[in-house]
Amino acid sequence: MCKLREEIEALADGLSPRNYSEQVEKGFQILVRYKENGTSQKEAEETLMPLFGKYKFTAELKFGFIGDLLDCIVGWVGNRNWYIYNGQWTIDN
């Protein structure tokens, strides 16, 4: 899961208020790809949680970004289309 963390962290490092939505969409697609390759919900969540803690008091925008991706993993999203582990998402959706 180190590669997943590296990919998400690279997106966070390139984050700005102007590209926030685009970066969330890219992160979402990365997570979908990892799911399709066998990453469980628990593995994805456990991979991103350290980043969530890392940015909590140091980088508000990155903290929100990781939080948004975690919401897609655990299903705390208002739009169910963004819930990755509901069995509906593939990279082609």
Mean pLDDT of 54-79: 91
User: Please, how many CA atoms are within 13 Å of residue 54, restricted to the half-sphere of its CB?
Assistant: 12
In contact, 47 and 5? CB cutoff 8 Å: yes
**The pLDDT value given to residue 1:** 60
pLDDT of 93 above 50:
no
Phi, psi of 54 (to 5 degrees): -60, -40
Q: Could you report the per-residue pLDDT of 59-71, keeping only the tens digit for each?
A: 999 999 999 999 9
Quick one: pLDDT at residue 75?
A: 84
